[in-house]
Structure 1
Amino acid sequence: MKKLNITREQEKLLLTGEFLNEPQTLLYTTDPSFSNKVYKKEFLLNGEKQIDLSEVSSNQRIYVAGIDNQQVYVGAERRVSINGLYNCRDLGGYVTKEKQMTKWGYLFRSDAPDHLLVEDQRYLKQMDIKTVIDLRSPGEIEKNPDKDMGETDHVELDPHAEVAKKASEVPSQGTSNKDEVKVHMLEQLASTAEGQATLIKWQKQMIQQMHDLVMTEKSQAAYSIFLKMVNQTAEPKALIFHCQGGKDRTGWGAALILGLLGVDKKTIYQDYLLTDTYNRPRNEMRMAIYKQYTDNAFVLDYLASLQQTKVDYLDGAFHVMEKEFGTIEAYAKEKLDVTDSDIQRLKSTYLYNEKDRQNILNRWK
């Protein structure tokens, strides 16, 4: 199984692939297993080996398959394209060290679905989400509870990430609000050399936070249950896991899943850093609110650091994990109650195999 690349240009979805010829017959479906409601259609190339999929993807998530000499190509848009979520994306299409590929349409990492529009909820329900795992603290959840996505299981797991919780605070509009108060308090701190040094020190706290997500007992307990929820069925079921911004608590959860599936470290980092791209509009909006109250560079740098996605942050997790345990597999076995059979089950469930290839090939008959 190989990856089809699907990219978005405004309202257009464009497919590119090394095997595309003119014309090209493709399968498309809203079912990631390609077992139900599968359609076959001949598409024409648009420009440089591109196929415009917009006519079949207006208000539902679609999955596309193509065939070239018995080789099956599968793809979907990485980001779930709805207005109420910035950073909801599919963990499919990543190639493992054993040259298998993660399945599209089942494992989604996201920012918090606490502000979904009605049409967003409708879109997500069509994706047949079975499980939602909320990695926020009880206080965050109480303040901004998840909106319904039609899931059958909703689990709350708190890794006790205080810096991440602070980073996830969403500014509120208004003339007199907590954001204005917070900014003015930071301005007072930044008015002295000692205070400026404190702000610089605080900017480095996220590295320690990621270290703690690996090493503290409370975090390990949360991620142990998290992996059990991900791995609870032998047949893949659509699952979304999230914190507030979908950055660090969610990022470490994604790193665990991808690492145990056999995806290499470089790819895990690339997935982590995608958050910076997808969250950029939200972060720019938040910084615009803060800039209404201050132009102090130390304050703004500190506030920006809480929202940023940096290699150094994920390094904080990987460096201690590799130093103490060597590999993600060894760490998961020793600290997260994961067994060899659990890892094999995870791979059998969420990596494409020969059965999946034959199922798609049979759809052409």
Structure 2
Amino acid sequence: MAATSPHVRSQPVRITRTALALATAAVLAAGAAGPLAAPAAAAPAPAAAQAAAASAAPFTAAQATLNPDGSYLISWASTAAQVSVTAATQASATTGVALGGGAGTGSLTVPAGTLPAAARWYFRLSTPDGSALTVAERSLGLADAHNFRDAGGYRTADGHWVRTGVVYRSGKLSGLTAAEQQVLTAEGITLDVDLRNSSERSDDPDQIPAGVGYQVADVVSLAHGIKFHKDAAATLLQALAAGLFSGSSDLGQSIGYPFMVNFVGADHAFHDTLVAIEHNSGATVFHCTAGKDRTGWANAVLLTLLGVPRATVEADFLASNTYTGDPEAVELSWLTSAFNEVNAIYGSFDGYLHQGLMLTDADIAALKAKLLA
């Protein structure tokens, strides 16, 4: 996380290539093109679009953790009197290897060697009334795809859960071995959405298995022109000031995050990513280079759309510091600056979804129906 002191850190700041591209576009646009007309306030979504399609699973907490020794710890908290646990190699499986269970709130350890080798194990938590929730270790453990992890497994504010095994987030996929590509196949991934720019894609093309579709959603593409929703110079100055005040270690990222909201080209990239997830019949992975900034904002948008509380969204974002092995990979102030830009331009996150990302009520309802349990 960023330091809370208003003083600038003594070490040199970093500026990433993507953040620099967005900042450069802003400088080019400043004085040359005014902001777009202020977006109209989004009309309230109908109740049917706001409601999740499925009944909430009766769990207030649930998690599966793979320990270094190969054992799993399954923990849960439920309103049910009893919970039983089964293991399966597919997220959609309704039966599997019976592992035991316990009281409504409890845990279960699965010793190493209990389950045979598999690309991934899913754990189905079932209650006597037939309700069930599936959890899994979030990371797929791909050595050559840093930060490759499940986007699901989080509880929403209204008690639903984001399904596991449907959407994944990752860093670049250019180094996948044949065995790692088979993990993608085993997980039912049928679409790869690439958020990187043309230079990154050319330097490190994705290595994905046959049968997986490939789609570009370039966050810094100029295909839609150099257009911004509000004055680019103002956003640039505000971002620099906020980055200096927060003690950001990377002023480029302090600039880049609000521009992922202000830049019209980014709107199209994130729109295309979400719509691809909506319409893809299999599982989807989206990624950038490190899987933490463009990917981090894309996943923050997805989780917030689904109703995941802000604190959980922030924790998922900061988890890149663990999964990348770099404790300073991301800072909370960067994510906060993007959400602040949403409020500054649209007044609400709902306005951003409808007016910025051009999502319809039907799109949002479809994403919730597909991803919420």
What TM-score do the two structures reach when normalised by structure 2? 0.70
Which residue of the partner structure matches residue 217 of structure 1? 264
Kept in 2, the 8 Å contact 1:129–1:151? The answer is no
* Structure 1: runs of 5 or more not aligned: 163-196, 285-306, 353-365
Distance 1:151 1:256, change over 3 A: farther
SS of residue in 2 equivalent to 1:56: coil
Distance across 2 between alignment mates of 1:142 and 1:267:
35
Amino acid of the structure 2 residue aligned with 1:65: R
Structure 1 equivalent of residue 96 of structure 2: 39
Query: What stretches of structure 2 of length at least 5 have no aligned partner?
Result: 1-56, 223-243
Match of 1:117 among 177, 189, 192: 177
- Report the Cα distance in structure 2 between the residues aligned to 1:214 and 1:277, rounded to whole angstroms: 26
Question: 1:340 offset after TM fit, Å?
Answer: 1.1
- 1:278-306 deviation digits (Å, cap 9, x = unpaired): 101xx48xxxxxxxxxxxxxxxxxxxxxx
Contact 1:243-1:250 within 8 A present in 2 as well: yes
Q: Which has the higher contact order (CA 8 A, sep 6+)?
A: 2
1:240-255 matches, within 5 Å, as 240-255=285-300
Q: Is the 8 A contact 2:248 2:254 kept in 1?
A: no
Residue type matched to 1:272 in 2?
Answer: F
Letter paired with 1:155: Q
How many residue pairs are counted as aligned between the two chains? 285
Quick check: 2:146–2:172 contact (8 Å CA) kept in 1?
Answer: no
Contact 1:108 1:240 in 2 (8 A): yes
What is the match of residue 266 of structure 1? 311
Which of 337, 343, 362 aligns to 2:358? It is: 337
In the alignment, which residue of structure 1 is the partner of 2:110? 52
In structure 2, relative to structure 1, the CA distance for the partners of 1:43 and 1:99 (3 Å cut) is closer
Higher helix share: 1
Cα distance, 1:152 vs structure 2: 3.2
1:154 and 1:317 mapped to 2: Cα distance? 27
Separation in 2, partners of 1:44, 1:222: 44
Q: 1:41-82 deviations in whole A, cap 9, x for unaligned?
A: 24489xx94321643262321211122332434211111122
Q: Does 1:143 align with 2:203?
A: yes
Residue in 2 that maps onto 1:29: 88
Correspondence list, 1:192-211, <5 A: 203-211=250-258
1-structure distance, mates of 2:267, 2:260: 7
Where does residue 5 of structure 2 map in the other structure? none
Contact map agreement 2:89 2:118 (CA 8 A) in 1: no
Q: 1:318 to 1:269 in 2, by over 3 A?
A: same
Deviations 1:176-215 (A, max 9, x none): xxxxxxxxxxxxxxxxxxxxx9xx9983121110011011
Pick closer, same or farther for the CA change 1:13–1:151 going to 2, 3 Å. farther
Q: For residue 40 of structure 1, what is the amino acid of its counterpart?
A: V
Contact 1:132 1:151 in 2 (8 A): no
Residues 247 and 309 in structure 1, CA contact (< 8 A), matched pair in contact too: yes
Question: Tell me, what secondary structure is at the counterpart of 1:78?
Answer: coil
Q: TM-score if structure 1 supplies the norm length?
A: 0.71
**Cα gap change, 1:58/1:82 in structure 2, threshold over 3 Å: closer, same or farther?**
farther
In structure 1, the residue corresponding to 2:279 is in which secondary structure? Answer: coil
- Does structure 2 retain, via aligned residues, the 8 Å contact 1:161–1:213? no
Alpha-carbon distance in structure 1 between the residues aligned to 2:107 and 2:356: 48
Q: Which residue of 2 aligns with 1:347?
A: 368
Residue identity (%): 24
Q: How far, CA to CA, are the matches of 1:258 and 1:157 in structure 2? A: 19
- 1:105–1:238 CA contact under 8 A, matched in 2: yes
Matches within 5 A, 1:1-365: 1=57, 2=59, 3-10=61-68, 11-18=70-77, 25-34=84-93, 38-43=95-100, 49-52=107-110, 54=112, 55-56=114-115, 58-70=117-129, 71-160=131-220, 203-233=250-280, 237-280=282-325, 283=326, 308-352=329-373
